Each structure stands twice: as structure tokens, then as C-alpha cells.
Chain A
Amino acid sequence: MTSSEILFDSPADPVVEGPVLQVEDLHVSFPSEAGRVQAVRGLSYQVSPGEVLGIVGESGSGKSVSSLAVMGLLPSSARITGSIKFQGRELIGRTDTELSKIRGRRISMVFQDPLSALTPVYTVGDQIAEAILVHRGGAVSKQAANKRAVELLDLVGIPNAAERAKAFPHEFSGGMRQRAVIAMAITNDPDLIIADEPTTALDVTVQAQVLQLLETAQEVTGAGIVIITHDLGVVAGFADRLMVMYAGRAVETGKVDEIYQQPRMPYTLGLLGSIPRLDVGEKQPLVPITGQPPSLTDLPPGCPFAPRCPMVVDACHTAEPPLIEVDGSAEHHAACIRTGEIAATDAEGAEAAAEIFGAEVVEEAEIAKVPREQRDTVLELDHLVKEYPINKGVVFKRRVGTVHAVAGISFDIREGETLGLVGESGCGKTTTLMEILGLQKPMAGEISVLGTNVSSLDSKRRKAIRRDMSVVFQDPMASLDPRLTINDVIAEPMQVHGYGKDEINRRVPELMRLVGLRPEQLSRYPGEFSGGQRQRIGIARALALEPKLVVLDEPVSALDVSIQAGVINLLEELKAKLGLAYLFVAHDLSVVRHIADRVAVMYLGKIIEIGEVDSVFDAPRHPYTQALLSAIPIPDPVKERQRERILLTGDLPSPANPPSGCRFRTRCFLHASLPPEKQRTCIELEPPREVQAPDHEAACHFAQIRQVL
């Protein structure tokens, strides 16, 4: 690292006095079929050297567009007015060639999707070296640039950097690619780094690593950072200042602590209240923000949030409120005419949100009061195995290996119960689901649905069982056929199972009302609905046959937080009303904590910890569970800064070649701290699942409680 330090300016002496970036009254608009979209409408902010500014907002709020405008990367059809000053120099109106000298040298960007941010045909090392050569071509030789690329890769924590620099992007995992992108961003010691949703595409464990890395990057370069995100949790511990955007404008700005503790704009309140908290055991009410963001083509006068605001008064519709100082703080601004009244409520943060938005905890179902043992089993897996062959050769296929996607997992779900199945991507969650939904005889082990073993089913009985089991998919864009009307979509399962026409016509509007949609919209097409509404339609379709078990495959992970809360509330209500059992697959542990009764943690095709949700979250026994939990950010800046992160090293091993003994040992911090003779146990023996507490099992030889929340 010594040579790296030489090339970086000392963070202590910034080149220019004053803010690095100063945006004044920025307007951006795009042409569209329906008229001009005013994506950004009068945005002003500034970033000082070494400061981290978080920009938060729903999709379509203009947060990405405003930063692309700073980079000068908007398409030529965009109309940009206002002023963007970088270190005192105006950027708007400069030609692309002029901007290219600043881009990558003084301002750099980390994109959301690390796969498309790297060119697939060049090695990672070459791409980083290119970033150096482009800007310092005269002063730095090719060899020196390559050497520096290796150092940078080493700095961002890629093991065997010299070796890996010669690898192509597809040989890197998602997390490693994002590290490489960050390495590229800090190559030229920039004064400003813009990170656009840098962790959204990544797993939670990797997300924690990347955030840590961005912090390191900031320390070495002393740059100002603009981090754009829709997740209030991510920025809580990382950002210094926060700007909340809505409909192309800043609606609240201020210090992170102030905003989280005393939000003064109903929208910020709603956002804070809509996030399920990982660190709260008892049921908390989730605040759904009703309605949708306004269309930016033709905004009515007045506050753009007014149609969704619980505190709306007539005066809100007359003029758009400007950003005003609140609580006498010079830094805290909010664009609302009723900030005083919000300040007058006694509750703070999320509690105030629940109070103002009138959110309530969903009642428990009748069935939940019956002890678990006395309820019927809805789904039971017994040592389920699924393997995929790896074949080689074109004409004569030889089997050269096996992917152990699911390696013998067992769990059961009782009536009226929610089991959360969590794990990183690639751990076998989806394979398990597909095996359950396929209702075919498994390779080994057994699947029983409502007491019927699926291996002995004929096609008629299989169809009968499908009535009792339905599925809601992750992506509301892809899960509804765009060519069918909503009526046809919801009616389809009933048609398949031979319901009469009259019954279908009676039941479809009923289902629409059940999921909180208006039956008048039945003749519309899925494309006319927003993501949250489509997910509701998907749920209505799943409930059409009055199933006992609903399999939910990441049902809220594709939705904006404000809309996510509404869907979670709906799922809870339906469960209580209809006595449904859920198999809830998710990677977001806070959602699981909120909705699930029991939770199963999967790692490389095995369940390593399972049990009652509070027991697992409050007293996790398996090191992997502990690491997962500690990686989830909590939307509370004070708590977040005090928390100790367990950072997992490396990525998930390949399921084609899992480690011997305990599968987690290659990344396990506990294993690393053990004396050699105990380590041998981990390497040689596969840990069995053992009871740790009532309804709590974990598979670790050296299980011990460690509180991480």
C-alpha cells in the first residue's frame, strides 16, 4: 500500500476551498409520448470535500437523473438548465470532450449493475489500467499503469490481485465486480465519487463489504461522495447529510441524525415508517404510503405529495411549498407547510409515522392461538435433494460433475404459519421452491403436501393438489401476461380447475376487493398498473382457488419501500383472515422478521439454522446467521454507527464443489479463530442439526449465542 499512498493526494489538504460540487436550480426534462417529462425540477445541493451526501427517493423521483446530469451522461434529447459547479467551474454547456477530461479524473461514478459497468472482452486489470492511461497517458507508462491496477485491486480487497487482474469480468462474482468498479472509480484520486445504488444488485453480506469499501475509498481519496439509494437503511450509518427527493425536487435535507429522528416532511416520515425493523421483536405497524408518485409530465399546482399525504389541507393544493428551515436548525430544511404540527407530535421517527399515517398492527389469526403441535402439517420436506449434472462434449455427453443445488433439507409448515426461507443468492432457495411447486418425484427424499406424498401422485391427483398450493412471484412485471386483461389473469386458475362461468364472474370482483383494488379496473391490462398494484393482482390470482399454502418467492424485493409496506400489510391481513400458510422466500431479513413465525437459514443447499423467528434473530447460534444479521443495515444512524459488523470474507463457494465437513467453514470467522484440533472437526465432520433451544435448531459444532443486533 505504500506506493498507493504516494499516488493519492493527502486527504488533509483539499485542492480547492469551498464545496466540491454545487448544484443550483437544476432542471432536467425528457421527451416522451405523453409530453415532456420534468424529471428534475429545481434541485439545489452541495457537497463539501470529504462529505458523504445520501440522496434518497423512490424510483422515478429524479435522483439518478440529477447525478447523471452532473456527469454529463444524459442522452442528447434531455434538456438541462440551471447550474452545476464542480470546484467552482461550471459544467453545464461544456462539450463532451471537455467533460471527458473531468469525468473519471476528478469525478467518478460507481454504477448499480457491476456486470454492465465492465466491458466483457477486456481483463479487469486492463480496464483499470485504461482508466489511468486515459488521463495520465503521458506521465505513466503502460507497465506502471498495470502495476497500479494490481495495487488498486489489492486495496479494494480482491485476493491474489496480481493473478485476478488478468481475469475477465465474467470470472468475477457480483461483489468482486463491484469492488473492481470501485477500484476503477478511485484510480485517479477523484474529488467526487457518485455511487448510484451501488449495493442494490448485491446480496446483503456483499452489500456490507461494499459499503465498508466505499468508506475506505473515501478515506484514501478524501473525496466527497454522493450515494444514491432507495433504502434508508443503507445510508443511515454511512452518510453525513441526507437529501430526500420526491417528484424531481428535494423535499427534505439535513444532517442524517436530524432527519431520522425528527423528520419534518410527511413523505420522509412515511418512508421511515414503511421499513420493517430488524431490531424490533414485537410486531410494529408498517406505514404504507397510499397511491403512486405523480406523473412528471403534467404536474398539477400545489405540493406534489398532497394526493398521498395524510396531513393534506386545502392550502397544500395552492402552491408548491419551498424548502424552509425547520426547528431553527440552519441545516435542516423541509418542504412542507405543516412542519410545525409534525414537530408538535410527541413521538419520534417511525413511531410518529405510524401515528400520523394511522397504521395499525395486523391482528393475529384465530388459528395462531392453537399450539403449533396441534395444527395440521401443510407442507413437509424430508431430506430433499436436487442435483444437476454438469455435462461436457457435444455429441457424446460425459458427466464431469454435479451441482448439489439442494443437499438434503427438511422442514415443515403448519396451518396458518409463515416460514421464512432466507439465504444468499445461489444457496438453493429457488431450486427448493421449484421442486415443491413442480410436484414431481424428487431425486431423493420426500415432499408431502397436506399429508400426501408427491412421489406417488398420478396426474389427476397432482392437479387436485395444485388447488391447495399457489405461488406469487418476485417480479410483478414478468408474472402477469401482458396480453391478458386483469379479469382473464385472475380467472385463469379457476378456468383450469373447471369453475362455472357464473362463479368466476362472481369471484373475480370479490378477489379484487380482497387485495384492495377496485373491480372497475378489471378490463385493464397489466401494463396500466404500477408495480405494487400488479403484485396485488398476482396475490389475487394466487388466492383464486382458496389455497391452504401460498409460496411467495421474494414477493416484495422488486418494489419500492413505500409500496412494499402496503403489500406486506396485505399479506399479513390475508393470512389472518383466510388462515393461510406461507412459505416466504426472501433475502431481506428485516421483512422476514416482520412477517414470519419461523425462519430457516440456508447455506449452500443446506439448512444451517431453523427455528422460531425471535429466538433465531435475538439469539443466533450459527456463525453464518450471525454474519447475515450483522450485515443488514438498520435505519437508525446512532445504532448503526455503534454496531459491530461481522464481515464475511469472499463469496459463496461453488455448489458443484462444496467444502468438506461443514460447508460454511471456508468463510467462517469462528472456524478461523479455533485451535487446529477443533478446526479438524469442522473440516472432517459435517455438523448435524441439533436442538439449541425450544423450536430452535442449528448445525454447528461450536454453536454459541452471539448477539448482533
Chain B
Amino acid sequence: MTVILNEGDSAGTAGAASGSPVDAAPEPGKAMTRGRLVLIRFMRNKLALVGLAIIVAMYLLAFLGPLLTQWSYEDRDYTAFLQPPYADHIFGTDKIGTDMFALTMRGLQKSLIIGLLVALISTTVAAIVGAAAGYFLGVADKALMWVVDLLLVLPSFLIIAILSPWFRGKSWWLLVLMLAAFQWMITARIVRGMTLTLKEREFVKAARFMGQPARTIIAKHIVPNMASLLIIDATINVGSAVLAETGLSYFGFGVQSPDVSLGTLIGGNAESATTFPWLFLFPAGFLVVFVLAVNWVGDGLRDALDPTSTRVRKREKKDTKEKAA
């Protein structure tokens, strides 16, 4: 992953980083705020926009979709067993007559919620642990990094699988926490490294010399300056958390019945994939499209937030060539 540092001040003045005497900023009246610049750069990336649209549409569909159909995922239509898609059941039905659309929406809902929560929790933990370790160093750093190393060597899939009988029947929140617990370590290491650099920046020193307590310095100066990394990380994490959850559920270790997720749907219907493809294709298709969209958005965000990204220049070259032609 590209580590983005100092992005705040290099957004407008690309030449200033070379150590030459300070470059004058563009005229104050015309200056572009950083937020707008990022937005413009993001908007330019069509694939990322498509990705973003897909993600928004999927969340809307997952939560509003069940309202569009008369069927609930618990209802059974005893007149239609294993029917391929038709007007009444647009995604078809399974062998006990449940509407596949309602079922898929319910599964999508669960998977997306789990993905979002896991990403938020793991990125928050990574930010706090990494920044604290990097800022305080010494014993705190040693202890926290030891935990990170320990969690990194443990096989997360196996541990969650072993623990799964214990949280069977309990809330799905436990699954969220377990997934989050194994997803923050690498980001924490990156955050720690960035904190080490940021700590030497003069604005952090200035805050220290004016008597600002360490807690406030971390919350006010260090974490916000890593925002771009954390945003990208959280976005990508949603995708990988959904994948992890689906993987676990496929083997029966994740979400437990009667609740459904994309994983349980895919797992339960895998053997019918060739004979009754609608049972398998709809949940699997949603999963693939979602993860793909998340990755597009992640790429787009990285390009937009990373001042060293060359995409802009490439585009300009293309434009001039077109003009010349």
C-alpha cells in the first residue's frame, strides 16, 4: 500500500517538497481547498464513481429491497418449490419455497452490516494502537507491538472456527468482534510508522511545547493527519471483512441459522450451482460485484488522496494528443 504522508501541504505545491525556498501559494482568492481538490480528482476516476454508485445502490437495495416484495425471508410459498425466476418470485424460490429475492436481500443486509462494522472497528483500533505505540514508544510500544506480532502469527480462520461452537446461538455481534480482532494489525503497524514521522513534524513539537497533553496531540494532530490512509484502509477492509464473513459462514462457522448471510446462502446452495443455478448465482453475484466495487472505490480514493499519483498527468497527456489529432 502506498503510504501517504504530508499530503496536507503538498496538495497544491508539488515543487515545495524539494527543499527549495518556500514556494508561494497560488493567489488566495483562487486557492482550491484540499477537499475540493480531492473531490475533483476522485470524480475524474470513472471506475471509482461506478464503484461508489454500486455500493450505495447495494446498501439501499439490501435495506429497502425487502419492502418491495410481498415475501419475507421466513415465508414459504407452498405453491412454488425450486422455481426458476418468474414474475411472482423474481429470483426464483428454493426447495422449501422461500423467495430467493427476500433471502438474498436478508443475506446481503447481514453481510454488508458485518463488513461495515468490522471495518470501522478494526480501523479505529488500528489508529489508536498504532498512534499510541508510535507516540509514546518505550514500554507501551513494546507491549502493543508484541500483541500485534502475536495476533499476526495466529491463524485467524482456525481460531474463529474453533470458537464458533461457543458463540453459536449468541448474538452475531460476537462474530463482528472476532473478525475485527484479526483485521487491525497490519494497519496498526503502518499507523505506527507514520506516527513516528509525524511526531517529528514541527506542528506536533509546537503543540508539545505549548503544553498540550499527549492524548490531545494524538487525537487532534496525529490521527487527522493520517485520515487519508485510514479512509482507504476502512474502505478496503469492508471488502475483506465481507469476504472473511462469507468464507466462515460457507463452512458453517459464521452466521448461524435461522439468520442468513451471503456466505450461508452460497454454502447451502453450492451443490445446486449447476442444477438450479439461480439458488447460487444471485448471492454469489452480489458478493463478487460488491467486493469489486469496494476495490474500485479504494483505488479511486488512493489516487485522489495521494499527491504523488500520476494519473492526472497521464490524462493531460492524453488530452493534448487528442487535441493535436
Residues of A within 8 A of B (CB): 31, 33-34, 58-60, 75-77, 79, 112-113, 197, 200-201, 230, 292-295, 297, 437, 462-463, 466, 470-471, 473-484, 492-493, 496-497, 521, 524-534, 538, 541, 545, 558-560, 563
- Which one, B11, B22, B34, contacts A59 given CB within 8 A? B22
Q: Is the CB of A59 within 8 A of B209?
A: no
Stretch at the interface among B24-32, B86-94, B123-131, B290-298: B24-32
Q: Is the CB of B316 within 8 A of A200?
A: no
Q: Is the CB of B202 within 8 A of A478?
A: yes
Q: Is the CB of B312 within 8 A of A230?
A: no
Q: Beyond A34-B30, A531-B23: 19 further Cβ-contacts under 8 Å?
A: A33-B312, A79-B320, A112-B18, A197-B20, A230-B21, A294-B27, A295-B27, A477-B9, A477-B16, A481-B220, A481-B225, A482-B225, A492-B207, A496-B212, A526-B9, A527-B8, A531-B22, A532-B24, A533-B25
- A476–B206 Cα distance when bound, in Å, is 12
Which B residues touch A558, using CB under 8 A? 21-22
Q: Is the CB of A77 within 8 A of B313?
A: yes
CB distance from B12 to the nearest CB of A (A): 6
- A480–B19 Cα distance when bound, in Å, is 17
* B224 at interface by CB-CB < 8 Å: yes
A-B pairs, top 10 by smallest CB distance, nearest first, are A482-B8, A531-B22, A31-B316, A479-B202, A473-B202, A528-B31, A483-B224, A493-B210, A530-B24, A466-B211
- A333–B216 Cα distance when bound, in Å, is 58
Known: A437-B209, A463-B211. A77 touches B316 (CB 8 A): yes
* B205 at interface by CB-CB < 8 Å: yes
Q: Is the CB of A521 within 8 A of B28?
A: yes
Residue of chain B at shortest CB distance from A478: B202
Known: A31-B313, A33-B37, A527-B8. A479 touches B203 (CB 8 A): yes
- A86–B23 Cα distance when bound, in Å, is 31
Q: Is the CB of B33 within 8 A of A528?
A: yes
Q: Is the CB of A466 within 8 A of B22?
A: no
Residue of chain B at shortest CB distance from A528: B31
CB distance from A397 to the nearest CB of B (A): 14
Q: Is the CB of A292 within 8 A of B27?
A: yes
Residue of chain A at shortest CB distance from B319: A31
Q: Is the CB of A479 within 8 A of B206?
A: yes
- Which one, B16, B19, B26, contacts A34 given CB within 8 A? B26
Residue of chain B at shortest CB distance from A471: B209
- Which one, B12, B19, B227, contacts A483 given CB within 8 A? B227
Which B residues touch A462, using CB under 8 A? 211
CB distance from B132 to the nearest CB of A (A): 19
- A31–B221 Cα distance when bound, in Å, is 33
Known: A466-B210, A471-B206, A525-B34. A292 touches B25 (CB 8 A): yes
CB distance from B319 to the nearest CB of A (A): 8
> B31, B33, B221, B320 — which one has the most chain A CB atoms within 10 A of its CB?
B31
- A497–B225 Cα distance when bound, in Å, is 24
Q: Is the CB of A59 within 8 A of B221?
A: no
Interface string of B48-78 (1 = CB under 8 A from A): 0000000000000000000000000000000
Which B residues touch A521, using CB under 8 A? 28
Q: Is the CB of A541 within 8 A of B20?
A: no
* B43 at interface by CB-CB < 8 Å: no
Which A residues touch B170, using CB under 8 A? none
Which A residues touch B216, using CB under 8 A? 496
* B215 at interface by CB-CB < 8 Å: no
Which A residues touch B205, using CB under 8 A? 471, 473
- A558–B206 Cα distance when bound, in Å, is 18
- A463–B23 Cα distance when bound, in Å, is 36
- Which one, A295, A466, A530, A545, contacts B30 given CB within 8 A? A295
- A31–B14 Cα distance when bound, in Å, is 12
CB distance from A528 to the nearest CB of B (A): 4
Interface string of B286-325 (1 = CB under 8 A from A): 0000000000000000000000000011001100100000
Which B residues touch A526, using CB under 8 A? 8-9
Which B residues touch A75, using CB under 8 A? 313
Which A residues touch B12, using CB under 8 A? 527-528
Q: Is the CB of B316 within 8 A of A560?
A: no
* B174 at interface by CB-CB < 8 Å: no
> A33, A533, A538 — which one has the most chain B CB atoms within 10 A of its CB?
A33
* B46 at interface by CB-CB < 8 Å: no
Which A residues touch B220, using CB under 8 A? 481, 484
- Which one, A473, A482, A527, contacts B25 given CB within 8 A? A527
Which A residues touch B206, using CB under 8 A? 471, 473, 479, 538, 541
Which B residues touch A112, using CB under 8 A? 18-20
Offer 22 A-B interface pairs, CB within 8 angstroms, sorted by A: A31-B312, A33-B37, A34-B26, A34-B32, A76-B317, A112-B18, A292-B24, A292-B27, A466-B211, A470-B210, A477-B22, A479-B203, A482-B225, A493-B211, A526-B9, A527-B13, A528-B12, A528-B28, A529-B28, A530-B24, A541-B206, A560-B24
Which B residues touch A533, using CB under 8 A? 25
- A31–B202 Cα distance when bound, in Å, is 32
Q: Is the CB of A59 within 8 A of B20?
A: yes
- A527–B8 Cα distance when bound, in Å, is 7
- Which one, B23, B24, B203, B211, contacts A497 given CB within 8 A? B211
Residue of chain B at shortest CB distance from A201: B19
Known: A475-B202, A482-B9. A470 touches B23 (CB 8 A): no
Which A residues touch B20, using CB under 8 A? 59, 112, 197, 200
Which B residues touch A466, using CB under 8 A? 209-211
- A294–B224 Cα distance when bound, in Å, is 32
Q: Is the CB of A478 within 8 A of B201?
A: yes
- A241–B24 Cα distance when bound, in Å, is 27
- A293–B15 Cα distance when bound, in Å, is 15
Q: Is the CB of B225 within 8 A of A483?
A: yes
- A34–B31 Cα distance when bound, in Å, is 9
CB distance from A207 to the nearest CB of B (A): 15
- A2–B172 Cα distance when bound, in Å, is 85
Q: Is the CB of A527 within 8 A of B34?
A: yes
- A343–B34 Cα distance when bound, in Å, is 46
- A105–B186 Cα distance when bound, in Å, is 49
Which A residues touch B140, using CB under 8 A? none
Residue of chain B at shortest CB distance from A557: B21
Q: Is the CB of A113 within 8 A of B23?
A: no
> B34, B201, B202 — which one has the most chain A CB atoms within 10 A of its CB?
B202
Residue of chain B at shortest CB distance from A472: B206
Interface string of B252-270 (1 = CB under 8 A from A): 0000000000000000000
Known: A76-B317, A77-B317, A295-B30. A481 touches B21 (CB 8 A): no
Q: Is the CB of B18 within 8 A of A481?
A: no
* B158 at interface by CB-CB < 8 Å: no
CB distance from B21 to the nearest CB of A (A): 5
- A33–B312 Cα distance when bound, in Å, is 8
- Which one, A33, A471, A478, A538, contacts B32 given CB within 8 A? A33
Which B residues touch A477, using CB under 8 A? 9, 16, 22
- A197–B15 Cα distance when bound, in Å, is 15
Residue of chain A at shortest CB distance from B12: A527
Interface residues of B in 204-238 (CB under 8 A from A): 205-207, 209-212, 216, 220-221, 224-225, 227
- A545–B210 Cα distance when bound, in Å, is 9
Which A residues touch B16, using CB under 8 A? 477
- A545–B316 Cα distance when bound, in Å, is 49
Q: Is the CB of A295 within 8 A of B26?
A: yes
- Which one, B15, B19, B24, B207, contacts A113 given CB within 8 A? B19
Q: Is the CB of A527 within 8 A of B9?
A: yes
- A476–B212 Cα distance when bound, in Å, is 20
* B40 at interface by CB-CB < 8 Å: yes
- A27–B18 Cα distance when bound, in Å, is 23
> B8, B24, B202, B216 — which one has the most chain A CB atoms within 10 A of its CB?
B24
Q: Is the CB of B225 within 8 A of A529?
A: no
Residue of chain A at shortest CB distance from B225: A483
- A319–B11 Cα distance when bound, in Å, is 33
Residue of chain B at shortest CB distance from A307: B27
- Which one, A77, A470, A484, A530, contacts B22 given CB within 8 A? A530
Which B residues touch A482, using CB under 8 A? 8-9, 34, 225
